[in-house]
Structure 1
Amino acid sequence: MNAGQVPYKVVSCSATFGVFTQEPLRRLEDAGCSVWLNPYGRVLTKAEILEYAYDADAVNVGNDEFGADVIRALPNLKMIARHGSGVNNIGYHEALRRGIVVTNTPGANAEETADLTFALILDLERHVTLMNEELKRDVWKKRAGHSLYGKTIGIIGVGAIGTAVARRAMGFGMDILGNDIVEKPEAAKTGLIFTSLNDLLKRSDIVTIHTPLTQATTNLIGAKELRMMKDDAILINTARDGIIRHSALEKALVGDKLYGYASDVHEGEPPKHSAIFDLPNVLVTPHAGSATYEANYRMGMAVADNIIAAMDGVMPPNLVSPMSVMYG
């Protein structure tokens, strides 16, 4: 940066950027950026975003609501860098209208989210958390669960994360079904067979969701879809909260139409306490799919790459296109 030149201001709304690993922050600072980090460890409110990012050149967005109204209120904004892959929380078309660059970090946390998915599957099927809590209260009770070997797992959304889940399922000796608008041939290497959503729901012992939240996937799983599932099936959601209709899910769980449910994603962060949180067959985690040192490093470095490229007038490596917004 030349003497007298105003630093490129980057405001990071993301609660985890520069927290687990500091290298991405140092890269931005070394490139001439002035970086403000989220000090709260949570999603920012709109008022906080407008306060801290009013004169920002670039904003690093986590799971914050960064819609068209927010974008219109930031006059100096040139770039929105998503710290993650999904951009459903960003007013993309308003950014496009303003000529604001939007980027993301696709695939940077795929393996880690697949790991958490299987952690939740194993926990639900073998009652790990429940037995742990009981034994700590001096309750000695062996709970029978379900084996994974020979069972059928249905993967809704066979992108990077869905494929990573399929690889793990192959190692457990499971039959693997998948559903997606694009049937990628490489998924077949895991033994995955593509089928319709209805067939997947009817045949699967475990249903796990890995599709982006779009107009087509909002409330994709409702009362009709839940009724198709086996009574002893479990449902996992590490994708986006809006894919499952909450009222239908609660009825299915209370009515013993699902063996278990686990979710890493919620309406609001932190969410309001839900009645299903208190059910013994429900597991909830605080959107921690990417919360490893390794994934945080990759995501952070991808954000830094994107911001530095845009600052230098070069096309960022992970530019979000209108087609990817529509189909994920």
Structure 2
Amino acid sequence: MAKWKVVATAVTFGRINKEPLERLQKAGCEVLLNPYGRPLTEDEMIKLASDADAIIVGNDKVTRHIMENCKNLKLIAKHGVGTDGIDINAAKTLGITVTNAPATNNEEVADLTFGLMIALARGICKANTDTKNGKWIKPTGVSLYQKTIGIVGVGAIGRAVSKRATGFSMNILGYDTMENEEAKRLGLKFVPLDTLLQQSDFITLHLPLTNDTRNLLNKDRFQQIKKGAILINTARSQLLDMDALYKALTDGTLRGYGTDVYDFEPPEHLPFFDLENVILTPHIGGTTLESNLRMGNTAVDNVLAVLNGQIPPNVVEG
């Protein structure tokens, strides 16, 4: 068998932890890592992967055009969970398998969710800057203890957030298309989205991006949000109407907004970036030593399965 070529466009693959990279090399694969330190454009990906057998992708967009110009491509392995950036239908039509790495960063994303929540509630980022600059200003924050948290999307990450919320004795509301018994055992109460928005002091988004969830929080929904709520988004930026978000951040509807996700990476500058009640992080929800190793090894498990003529363990169906 000819040597397989694997192009890893995921920015952190093979850099934070070497084990997944070494597994591919030990299996006889030629591996090319991302040389740019950011998601690739269409032309860049085609140039790097035109003769690749497999691509391990991060937050890159993988379009039909890319697939059609990578003639040897057999597998697109997501280094993470969400596959909305991959044209699944095109892959299916072209006979290319798509896989992901489920349950590899649930706990880490839940950790970051609470980190952003606490930072906004207590004004930690501004307090840090002020103190380092010789200013002794004590911000008056709001407590999480016994407040109401609304979890929009009660999948694995939403349930991990629920577990953390119990440690703050929070009243936990959840919204999803299907109710989950595990979440109920954690004390979460399923309610309609409108009710969740009206009653929650903290709102956190954990939904996949679909035609049904795009702009889920639009102008009308923002008008339903409890005044002074804090909103966290570690899911997908397109769940929000950005104009409505800016208005909510400047008219007192939202006390603060924390996000780890953007339409493109690096993101274009948006007006809400300049607001003091906004915290931005560079899509680090799944970026820890531990989760990176899990994501990398799961992606490699999928690559090696296809290399050996087997069905990979984490196939994403179209």
Please confirm whether the aligned pair reaches a TM-score higher than 0.5, indicating the same fold: yes
Task: Specify every segment of 5 or more residues in structure 2 that has no aligned partner in the other structure, as ranges.
Answer: none
Write out aligned runs for 1:163-202 (5 A). Answer: 163-202=159-198
Spell out the pairing of 1:174-253 with structure 2 (5 A cutoff): 174-253=170-249
- In structure 1, the partner of 2:312 is 316
CA contact (8 A) 1:60 1:80 kept: yes
CA–CA separation in structure 2 for the residues paired with 1:169 and 1:221: 23
Determine the C-alpha separation between the residues in 1 that align with 2:317 and 2:62.
17
> What are the residue-to-residue correspondences of 1:30-41 with 2, within 5 Å?
30-41=26-37
2:220 counterpart letter in structure 1: K
Q: What is the RMSD computed on CA atoms of the aligned residues?
A: 0.9
Q: 1:153 aligns with which of 117, 140, 149?
A: 149
Which among 105, 109, 126 is matched to residue 109 of structure 1?
105
In the alignment, is residue 285 of structure 1 matched against residue 281 of structure 2?
Answer: yes
SS in 2 for 1:121: helix
Superposed CA deviations along residues 249-280 of structure 1, whole A, max 9, x for unmatched, are: 01111222110001000121111122211111
Task: Say which SS state the counterpart of residue 31 (structure 2) adopts.
Answer: strand
Per mean C-alpha deviation after superposition, the further-off stretch among 296-305 and 63-72 is 63-72
Q: Secondary structure at the match of 2:154?
A: coil
Count the aligned residue pairs.
318
1:20 aligned residue? 16
- Match for residue 270 of structure 1? 266
- The answer to whether residue 136 in structure 2 is matched with residue 144 in structure 1 is no
Tell me which of 122, 126, 132 is aligned to 2:118: 122
Tell whether the 8 Å contact from 1:149 to 1:173 is kept in structure 2 after alignment. yes
Cα deviation, 1:18-64, whole Å, max 9, x if unaligned, reads 11101001111111211100022111111110000001101111101
Instruction: Check whether the contact 1:207–1:234 (CA below 8 A) recurs between aligned residues.
Output: yes
- Per-residue CA deviations over 1:214-253 (Å, capped at 9, x if unaligned) read 1111111111111111111010000011111111101111
Distance (whole Å) between structure 2 residues aligned to residue 37 and residue 291 of structure 1? 17
Q: How many angstroms apart in 1 are the aligned matches of 2:138 and 2:117?
A: 18
Which residue of the partner structure matches residue 326 of structure 1?
Answer: none
* C-alpha distance in 2 between matches for 1:68 and 1:205: 42
How far has the Cα of 1:142 moved from its partner? 1.0
Equivalent in the alignment of 1:7: 3
Q: Which amino acid aligns with 1:299?
A: M
Distance between the aligned counterparts of 1:10 and 1:26, measured in 2?
12
Separation (CA, whole Å) in 1 of partners of 2:309 and 2:167: 45
Q: Equivalent residue of 2:140, what SS?
A: coil
Q: Does 1:299 align with 2:295?
A: yes
2:51 aligned with 1:61: no
Cα distance in structure 2, aligned partners of 1:23 and 1:207: 37
Distance 1:233 1:254 in 2: 13
Runs of 4+ in structure 1 over 3 Å off: none
Looking at structure 2, the residues matched to 156 and 233 of structure 1 have their Cα atoms a distance apart, in angstroms, of 14
d(CA) in 2 for partners of 1:280, 1:257: 15
The question of whether the paired residues in 2 share the 8 Å contact of 1:71 and 1:91 is answered with: no
Q: Give unpaired runs (5+ residues) of structure 1.
A: 323-328
Matches within 5 A, 1:250-265: 250-265=246-261
Structure 1 residue 189: deviation in Å?
Answer: 2.2
- Distance in 2, Cα, partners of 1:313 & 1:98: 18
Secondary structure class of the residue paired with 1:64: coil
Three-state SS of the structure 1 residue aligned to 2:254 is: coil
Q: Give % identity.
A: 49
Q: What is the distance in 1 between the residues matched to 2:317 and 2:78?
A: 13
Amino acid at match of 1:194: F
Per the alignment, residue 82 of structure 1 pairs with: 78
Show CA shifts across 1:171-199 (max 9, x none): 11101011111212111121111111111
SS in 1 for 2:223: helix
In 2, are the aligned partners of 1:210 and 1:238 still within 8 Å (CA)? yes
Determine helix, strand or coil for the equivalent of 1:219.
coil
What's the CA shift for 1:282? 0.3
